[in-house]
Amino acid sequence: MSEAVAEKNYLNDPKGWKSWVFTLDHKRIGILYLASITAAFFLGGVFAVLIRLELLNPGQDLMGPDTYNQIFTLHGAVMIFLFIIPSIPAALGNFFLPLLIGAKDVAFPRLNLASYYIYVFGSMFAVYSIFTGAVDTGWTFYTPYSTETQTSVIPMTLGAFILGFSSIFTGLNFIVTIHKMRIPGMTWYKLPLFVWALYATAIIQVVATPVLGITLLLLIFERVFSVGIFNPDMGGDPVLFQHFFWFYSHPAVYIMILPGMGIISELIATFSHKKIFGYKAIAFSSLGIAFISFLVWGHHMFVSGQSELAAMIFSFLTFLVGIPSGIKVFNWITTLYKGQIHFDTPMLYALSFLFLFTIGGLTGIFLGALATDVHLHDTYFVVAHFHYVMMGGTVMAFLGGLHYWWPKMFGKMYNHFWSVIAMILVFVGFNVTFFSQFILGSQGMPRRYYNYLDQFQPLHAFSTIGSWILGAGFIIMAIYLIHSLFKGRKASDNPWGGLTFEWATGSPPPHHNFKVTPKMTHGPYDYDKVLVEQTDY
């Protein structure tokens, strides 16, 4: 009998498929996004495994050069545009931003749903391009090749163009939500740091994404109407394309990493049971990173024929990114110091983020240095660097956030033992896959080739084995997470002992988030003032 009168929450109230398809509830939209980006991650992951499989041995074993070019392009485009950009903001951010600020929903629920369907629509274009001769330009669509290749550049760029609108809508929605929907008493300095990070992210989404849109549109124009904008053969300037492209795509790196950093701030504070160290420094370093991110795009073009003056300016400015990033890392480490650390799965991801992101960030400094970059440009060193930032940083933070908020989202706790096993496999697999690529790159192995000299074989094989370990970790994760939905033990309202508002409501939360509107009785990290216990071990 008690089963029948199960508590009403956003998952079972209202009922019916229409209530999901036309939902305006930010939590449901977040779940829709979560399901979609997981599918995209799986697709991109399959491409990644195929790439590594081809590179297991020199020579052609699995696919020819043309197919290989298409597969690595698809891996990049799917992972960037379909997975990582919407991953944290649109899935976890959508779900938790209103909860964190004590609101009932985002400021524009309809715009929120629209952004989801625009995402689906754009993704369909991307998938369509796969079936009509998949792009082979690399995810950067560099001209002049992208104006000349016979592969389906237009559907893919159109897809990215449409996806951009989804991203802009999410950003716009979050900015207004953060300005207008906070509960009384929640001043800017009482915002959880994840909210600050989402705010900085939203600014970049709104300001930078239109430039990508217009660039891709110009590229389509050039292809369709042979207008010479980028292609020198028609009288254009190919480096101009790179300027336009990276004006968006460098800040886009911070669309990916900033929300991840926000999650890490939450995780470190909660699992250290200690007031976060340097709240304001962490908050403002998010804005600092967002601003500097607009001034450094030329570091992608050191060997593209950009002027020496521009290269020097961009190289210098690139080093500045190290300052706010360093501020964050040191503040997190100081928060850990003398904290009451609980090594639960989310925290393990947070700690691996600290380790991997630091490697990713510091190798970015190598690449920002002009002379070093000339040697390392277009080698596997670059591939390893951005995978340490994107996967070691953002994906680890995403997984940490997912495991942190999973009991809140679904009201079920996953199996701890298997979650730790999966975490270890992901961490080890990641390092095996990508640390070897730092060495490969410094030895001169160029990126984007399906073939290589025999001398690189051992490291390539090592890297491929790493991809299998990673894959095993993710498969285990999928199994225990899905298992938890059906057989998981019921999660308490506040399993980790967090102080932010999402823990003050039910797991899963009711339709309007809170039964009673929460009151601002303490700050988000006041572990020195409030006694809160971890109820789940």
Partner 1 sequence: MKAKASDHSAHILPLRIYLGVGFALFILTGITVMISFVDLGGWNVTVALAVASIKAALVVLFFMHLLYDNKIYLTIFLTAIGFLAILIIFTMFDTMERGRLYPEKAKPIKPGAAIYEREDSLSSRSVDTTKTDH
The residue ranges that bind Cu ion (CB under 5 A) are 250
14 binds, among partner 1, Cu ion, none (CB under 5 to 8 A by kind): none
Site of interaction with partner 1 (CB under 8 A): 207-208, 211, 228, 232-237, 239-240, 243-244, 247, 294-295, 297-298, 301, 305-310, 313-314
Q: DSSP string spanning 5-59?
A: TPPP-TTTSS-SHHHHHT---HHHHHHHHHHHHHHHHHHHHHHHHHHHHHTTSSS
| Least CB distance to partner 1 at residue 231 (A) | 9
250 binds, among partner 1, Cu ion, none (CB under 5 to 8 A by kind): Cu ion
| Least CB distance to partner 1 at residue 59 (A) | 33
307 binds, among partner 1, Cu ion, none (CB under 5 to 8 A by kind): partner 1
Phi–psi pair at 412, nearest 5 degrees: -125, 145
Q: Is the peptide bond before 192 cis (omega within 30 degrees of 0)?
A: no
Contact 43, 77 (CB under 8 A): no
- The residue (of 250 and 273) whose beta carbon lies closer to Cu ion is 250
| Least CB distance to partner 1 at residue 114 (A) | 21
236 binds, among partner 1, Cu ion, none (CB under 5 to 8 A by kind): partner 1
Of all residues in the shown chain, the one whose CB is closest to Cu ion is: 250
- The residue (of 80 and 351) whose beta carbon lies closer to Cu ion is 80
Crossing angle for the helix pair 380-389 and 345-368, to the nearest 10 degrees: 140
- The residue (of 149 and 306) whose beta carbon lies closer to partner 1 is 306
- The residue (of 281 and 310) whose beta carbon lies closer to Cu ion is 310
5 binds, among partner 1, Cu ion, none (CB under 5 to 8 A by kind): none
| Least CB distance to partner 1 at residue 111 (A) | 17
- The residue (of 52 and 250) whose beta carbon lies closer to Cu ion is 250
| Least CB distance to Cu ion at residue 246 (A) | 6
Indicate the length of the chain as a whole number: 537
Q: DSSP string spanning 55-88?
A: TTSSS-SS--HHHHHHHHHHHHHIIIIIIIHHII
Distances (CA, A) of 398 to 127, 262, 503: 24, 10, 19
Q: DSSP string spanning 314-355?
A: HHHHHHHTHHHHHHHHHHHHHHHTT------HHHHHHHHHHH
| Least CB distance to partner 1 at residue 203 (A) | 9
211 binds, among Cu ion, partner 1, none (CB under 5 to 8 A by kind): partner 1
212 binds, among Cu ion, partner 1, none (CB under 5 to 8 A by kind): none
Taking the CB of residue 449, how many other CB atoms lie within 10 A of it? Answer: 14
- The residue (of 108 and 128) whose beta carbon lies closer to partner 1 is 108
CA distance 449 to 72: 10
- The residue (of 1 and 309) whose beta carbon lies closer to partner 1 is 309
Distances (CA, A) of 429 to 14, 380, 425: 42, 17, 6
Q: CA 509, 510, 513 angle in degrees (round to 5)?
A: 70
| Least CB distance to partner 1 at residue 292 (A) | 11
